[in-house]
Amino acid sequence: MPRYALLATHSSGQPPAEAGAASGVVLFLDASGNPEGHPVAAFAGQLPGVVREIESRGLRWVWEHTRDWYPQLLAAGVRIERAHDLALSRAILRHAPAAAGSAYAAGLGTAGDDAAPVPAALLPPPRTPANQGSLFEEPPPAAASAEALAAEFARQLAAVDASPQGRRLQLLLAAEAAGALVAAEMEHHGVPWDTARHVALLEDSLGPRTPEGSRPARLEELAAELRAALGAPQLNPDSQQELLRALHRCGIEARNTSQWELAEFDHPALEVLNRYKKLSRLHSANGWAWLDAWVSEGRFRPEYVVGGVVTGRWSSRGGGALQIPHSIRDAVRPDPGHVLVVADAAQLEPRILAALSRDRALADAARGRDLYQGIADLGFGGDRASAKIAMLGAMYGGTSGESGRLLPQLTRTFPQAVAFVEDAARTGAAGGDVATYLGRGAPPASSAWRAAQRSTTADEQRRADAAARARGRFTRNFVVQGTAAEWALCWLGGLRRRLHAESVPLGRGGLVFFLHDEVMLHVPAESADQVVRIVQESAAEAAELIFGRIPVEFPVGVATVDSYADAK
């Protein structure tokens, strides 16, 4: 019996000229990825029905990019339970140390290849032919493209099966593909958005809307106030160069106008500048132009890029999806009769470090309480702020300043946790490979980096040493942040599966937003308690799925609210 159904487009990527040509070709595959039975041609307009019928058989779909197919299927009311995304899997297997010895990875060029894989969602989608004709027939010769994809899928399966870490890699590829399904569904549902409330927030902060290219009234007032404070009547505060010159004339010898740089100086104009910059960011990033471009029919629909960051974290393309600022969160409001369920994992990365390092003392510090306070009580005399600085410094490579001063105490209290990140840093600094718990590999050191490490002059060696330390800081955090991203993917996938398995009434929504360790669901009010339970159970399930039964807790805070602004 077939286990997979591979969906591919016409091999030429162009709409065939003849009427009735296929818009999709389905190949049925066995457990090893080998074609089984006759391929099926599905025609435009009828593709959703074909997919729905095959989906009912419980097969896992295989395709090049989830974005190629799933949005149009969702628009037609077709939900996919499971998939394998060839492009996302390709990007993972290319750098996965556990797959490095496979013929598939060797063909992709893993070791010593400076060209990073392009995230699947950044590749252009194919042009889907608009054709019509009979529902099933033998596909035209151009369906060979589906056979090529099937051959690659078989090689991917073989690479995973042959790996000593095959079970972990298999889970990672499945979680990544599930994440792609969730991303498409979130884009389809959209974040519920109250346009009138957004406009009111903008008017309260900036004043009435002005023509494009001109400043709103409050910004113009602050610009005039800033000119007076700096004694620069012609200053354009949006010009970095003009602003720096004006600051220097007032004795503020800043190198740039960042908040961190200006914090070193004391001048009355800086308070005005901070207020101006805050409102200017609101106007440019989430003002009226943003609202026009990104919100329609009461929904904000960003475009998520799954695996867009090398650690496996998501990024977004346009709209600032991963940065909904507090100043406009009150515009995120549910439809009548619905609520928002907002959940976030508490202190996820240090808990991940406890699991990775098997540091029982750190696991104990996190049990049943705030993790940073637990760390403080064990090793820092109850000083939570110092404990947090020390832990973040250990995970992110802060070896100087306050975090460097506190690191020895952290090492004495949690030796296994600190040793784990230090080992990852040493490996990276030496040009070695590191990977997350499930096997996502960090991009290998480039040939230019390796050449620099062979430098001979004193100046070149200093630069090479600095580059080695920088790579060590990256690999130190990669293993923790990347594994945290894997936990979040498993949380998302489990949440999605449970919502469907329990037939939760979702009304106009479901999962609508995800940011690293936070999810938002838009659900009918009567479903809220059930959804809260599923959110928490899915978090516990994710930890056990990855690590097995371990003494590390992964608590999730959940709020049921009528405005995103009330969630935290």
Alpha helices, H only, 250-315: 259-262, 268-286, 288-294
Q: Please tell me whether residues 472 and 551 are part of one structural domain.
A: no
Q: How many Cβ atoms from other residues are within 10 Å of residue 51's Cβ? A: 24
Give 3-state DSSP helix, strand, coil % of the chain, rounded to 5. 55, 10, 35
> What 3 state SS string does 168-209 have?
HHHHHHHHHHHHHHHHHHHHHHCEECCHHHHHHHHHHHHCCC
Nearest residue to 273 via CA among 252, 303, 298, 299: 252
Cα 27 to Cα 38: distance, rounded to the nearest angstrom? 7
Least confident piece of the model among 51-65, 442-456, 536-550: 442-456
Cα 112 to Cα 105: distance, rounded to the nearest angstrom? 12
Query: For the residues 22-49, what does the mean pLDDT come to?
Result: 89
Cα 257 to Cα 268: distance, rounded to the nearest angstrom? 15
Cα 442 to Cα 555: distance, rounded to the nearest angstrom? 28
Q: Identify the DSSP state of 82.
A: -
Query: For the residues 208-229, what does the mean pLDDT come to?
Result: 94
- β-strand 295-296 against 83-85: which pairing, if any? unpaired
Q: Is residue 116 part of a domain?
A: yes
Average model confidence (pLDDT) across the chain: 89
> Is 248 within 8 Å of 255 (Cβ atoms)?
no
Q: Please tell me whether residues 443 and 499 are part of one structural domain.
A: no
Q: What domain range includes position 336?
A: 303-348+486-566
Alpha helices, H only, 16-165: 47-55, 66-75, 86-95, 103-108, 144-162
Nearest residue to 171 via CA among 544, 551, 556: 544
> Is 480 within 8 Å of 353 (Cβ atoms)?
yes
Q: How many Cβ atoms from other residues are within 10 Å of residue 349's Cβ? A: 22
Report residue 213's pLDDT band, with 50, 70 and 90 as the boundaries.
Answer: confident
Q: How high is the pLDDT of residue 112?
A: 43
Q: Is residue 186 part of a domain?
A: no
- CATH code where residue 454 lies: 1.10.150
3 state DSSP class of 41: strand
> Is 397 within 8 Å of 479 (Cβ atoms)?
no
Q: Please tell me whether residues 159 and 11 are part of one structural domain.
A: yes
Q: Is residue 175 part of a domain?
A: no
Q: Identify the DSSP state of 441.
A: B
Cα 257 to Cα 249: distance, rounded to the nearest angstrom? 14
> End of a domain among 243, 271, 291?
291
Q: How high is the pLDDT of residue 97?
A: 94
Q: Please tell me whether residues 256 and 361 are part of one structural domain.
A: no
Report residue 141's pLDDT band, with 50, 70 and 90 as the boundaries.
Answer: very low
Residue 378's contacts (CB-CB under 8 Å, 6 or more residues apart) are: 361, 364, 365, 413
Q: Please tell me whether residues 41 and 77 are part of one structural domain.
A: yes
Q: Please tell me whether residues 13 and 145 are part of one structural domain.
A: yes
Report residue 70's pLDDT band, with 50, 70 and 90 as the boundaries.
Answer: very high
Q: How many Cβ atoms from other residues are within 10 Å of residue 127's Cβ? A: 12
- CATH code where residue 496 lies: 3.30.70.370
Q: Please tell me whether residues 462 and 342 are part of one structural domain.
A: no
Q: Which residues lie across from 561 on neighbouring strands? A: 340
Q: Positive or negative CA dihedral for 114, 115, 120, 121?
A: positive
Q: Which residues lie across from 524 on neighbouring strands? A: 338
Considering the chain, what percentage of its residues have pLDDT values greater than 70?
91
Cα 106 to Cα 85: distance, rounded to the nearest angstrom? 20
Q: Is residue 209 part of a domain?
A: yes
Q: Which residues lie across from 523 on neighbouring strands? A: 339
Q: Please tell me whether residues 19 and 149 are part of one structural domain.
A: yes
- CATH code where residue 210 lies: 1.20.1060
> Is 127 within 8 Å of 188 (Cβ atoms)?
no
| Assigned token pair, 530 | 């059930």
Backbone angles phi, psi at 352, to 5 degrees: -60, -40
Cα 567 to Cα 329: distance, rounded to the nearest angstrom? 9
Place of tokens 């329609």: 296
Nearest residue to 94 via CA among 417, 386, 435: 435
Cα 155 to Cα 104: distance, rounded to the nearest angstrom? 6
Report residue 460's pLDDT band, with 50, 70 and 90 as the boundaries.
Answer: confident
Q: Please tell me whether residues 152 and 13 are part of one structural domain.
A: yes
Longest dimension (CA), the chain: 80
> End of a domain among 244, 263, 291?
291
Q: Please tell me whether residues 273 and 331 are part of one structural domain.
A: no
Is the pLDDT assigned to residue 22 strictly greater than 80?
Answer: no
Q: Is residue 181 part of a domain?
A: no
Cα 499 to Cα 510: distance, rounded to the nearest angstrom? 8
Q: Is residue 173 part of a domain?
A: no
Q: Please tell me whether residues 145 and 18 are part of one structural domain.
A: yes
Q: What is the pLDDT of residues 348-401, one digit of tens each?
A: 999 999 999 999 999 999 888 899 999 999 989 999 999 999 999 999 987 778
Cα 80 to Cα 557: distance, rounded to the nearest angstrom? 29
Is the pLDDT assigned to residue 16 strictly greater than 90?
Answer: no
Q: Is residue 328 part of a domain?
A: yes
- β-strand 338-345 against 518-524: which pairing, if any? antiparallel
Is the pLDDT assigned to residue 494 strictly greater than 90?
Answer: yes
Cα 82 to Cα 75: distance, rounded to the nearest angstrom? 18
3 state DSSP class of 25: strand
| Assigned token pair, 142 | 């151009």
In degrees, rounded to 5, the angle at the alpha carbon of residue 6 between the alpha carbons of residues 4 and 8 is 175
Number of domains comprising the chain: 4
Q: How high is the pLDDT of residue 77?
A: 94
Cα 325 to Cα 552: distance, rounded to the nearest angstrom? 32
Q: Please tell me whether residues 149 and 35 are part of one structural domain.
A: yes
